[in-house]
Amino acid sequence: MRRYVTRNLLSLAVAVTGAVGVGAAAPPAPATGGAPPGVPVKAPVAVGHGGAVASVDADASAAGIEVLRKGGNAVDAAVATAAALGVTEPYSAGIGGGGYFVYYDAASRTVRTIDGRETAPRSADAGLFLEGGKPVPFAEAVTSGLAVGVPGTPATWRAALDAWGSRSLATLLRPAERLAREGFTVDTTFRAQTADNEARFRDFPATAELFLPNGELPVVGSTLTNPDLARTYAQLARRGVDALYRGPIAEDIVRTVQAPPVDPAAARVVRPGDLTARDLRTYRTKFQQPTRTAYRGLDVYSMAPSSSGGTTVGEALNILEGTDLSKKSEAAYLHRFIEASRIAFADRGRWVGDPAFEDVPRRELLSQRYADSRACLIRDDAVLRSPLAPGNPRRPVPCAAGDRAAPTTYEGESTTHLTTADKWGNVVSYTLTIEQTGGSAITVPGRGFLLNNELTDFSFTPADPAVHDPNLPGPGKRPRSSMSPTIVLDGADRPVLALGSPGGATIITTVLQTLTGVVDRKLPLVDAIAAPRASQRNQATTELEPGLWDGAVRPELEAVGHAFRRNPEIGAATGVQRLPDGRWLAAAERERRGGGSAMVVRPAG
């Protein structure tokens, strides 16, 4: 259903144009340790020609820009940026993890996707995280071989480059290999993330040696090198990504998972996993159709299951479609946004899992008919109870309120997102992760990368024993994700906007709030990214960042019945936007995670 088509396309163009003014005048993000000469400096917005890159890290964005300057395309730049993030953001991403890749092809004006999610070992079953019929304590599961899934990131790079790239993997790994060998400058965010993981890291000698130099936390402004990762990247460059899925590197991964190399003096219980050489050898990415949602005359494309991002963001947008959010007060807008999120998460928990194992009603979840049947639950003067029961998308009943609900399971919040665009109009929105900050905390000795703990995204036990849980573990199954790499096209199938964010389950609400901020609230992209966030995930309380927690809007929402808890930081989005005059605008965070890095090939005012 497309309402407000002409008006909102015009309004979006106005918001985009406004972003140029903001970008020209916006100051850079806070300094991250006094970058020496030659080191890229972070800035939250850039406008110009020739292509664009936005990520959380200046070195990584510079790697992508280097590729674009040398004639590479958006896919090439995305792989180079991701590889560099494996060096500078090793607690959030790397070749020990997985992710989702969304690509817009300018020649065919179509959107394609790659599911590069980690998979459970073939030996896994619904009792993967049970001992004696009881779930393993979550705090113990996350730091274990048991939580490690088969990495999908290297295979994603290969699939994307084989299908759409124009440069070899060896060429694209050079900036990251150089960065790992020569080192990067430690900033306050990296030190803080290391400090948060210090106790875990100290229990694994290979991890401590890499990230706690001389047994101490890295000093802000110092240079951290990773020669082991440089050598690993060099091997991938020579042999291709098969080097990680078979051969010596694969053997090292299997050995590390099956017998985690724990310091003998450590008191930590570290359970082994059962990942095998066959699990690595048989891993495959999946090319699949994106989700598509029509919203205000635009087409919003994102990831289909195994990620819940596309269906959940899409359902929430469909719920909001019937309300002109541009005319609402801030409190009324946030009320609608929160309630739409609550409903969409209720349905996500019941219906979304790995479609290779579960019958996911993807088409029905994204139907406007179903959204309308759920939207009528929302009242302006009251708040829906949480946890809210799911509806039945296959048999929608208007305004029906079920009687059984399941709370949202925990997902690690340390992930990273990058967006790229090139001079030909191709666009990539790519979210990748090793799960929580620091992943499993287990570094593969001699290889320089952390292993994921992605399997903790499975439900350990059914959320409600009386209701089928689509997210229980299974052999070769992909755990449900919330990653929502998104590309928005206009009525002529040309790119308008691409964005995404880290943040576990808050990814969905961050992408939804940023999209509605640009499309409905007329915010320039950099302002929509910087706006204080709310996140409701079918829970009793909604999380608020300080800008909303301390603001005048919170009492207004509490008067309606909302309950809140404070979250100091939600997500860390990046995006690119095609301006009406053909220039690219890249945008990133001003402050979250120390500020992001937006760059273009040829800056223009």
User: What is the distance, to the nearest Å, from the Cα of residue 221 to the centroid of all Cα atoms in its chain?
Assistant: 27
Cβ neighbours for 395, distance < 8 A, ≥ 6 positions apart: none
Question: Alpha-carbon distance 23 to 43, whole Å?
Answer: 10
Q: How far apart are CA 187 and CA 131, in angstroms?
A: 41
| Dihedral sign, Cα of residue 215, residue 230, residue 244, residue 410 | positive
| Catalytic residue, candidates 113, 119, 293, 415 | 415
> DSSP 3-state assignment of 468?
coil
Token pair for residue 124? 């896994």
Rounded CA gap, 502 and 344, in Å? 19
SS3 state of residue 236 = helix
**Residue 112, H or E segment:** strand 110-116
Q: Is 415 a catalytic residue?
A: yes
The DSSP symbol for 44 reads S
Q: What are phi and psi of 202, to 5 degrees?
A: -65, -20
HEC states along 47-67?
Answer: EEEEEEEEECCHHHHHHHHHH
Phi-psi category of 50—alpha, beta or left, where left has phi over 0 and alpha has psi -120 to 50?
Answer: left
User: What b/e readout covers 79-95, taking b as 16+ CB neighbours within 10 angstroms?
Assistant: bbbbbbbbbbbbbbbbb
Q: In one letter, which amino acid is 239?
A: R
249 to 239, 245, 255, 258: CA distances (angstroms): 11, 7, 10, 14
Question: Distance between CA atoms of 552 and 274, rounded to whole angstroms?
Answer: 52
Residues 6+ apart with CB under 8 A from 4: 296, 297, 324
Strands 574-578 and 134-135: unpaired
Active site residues: 415
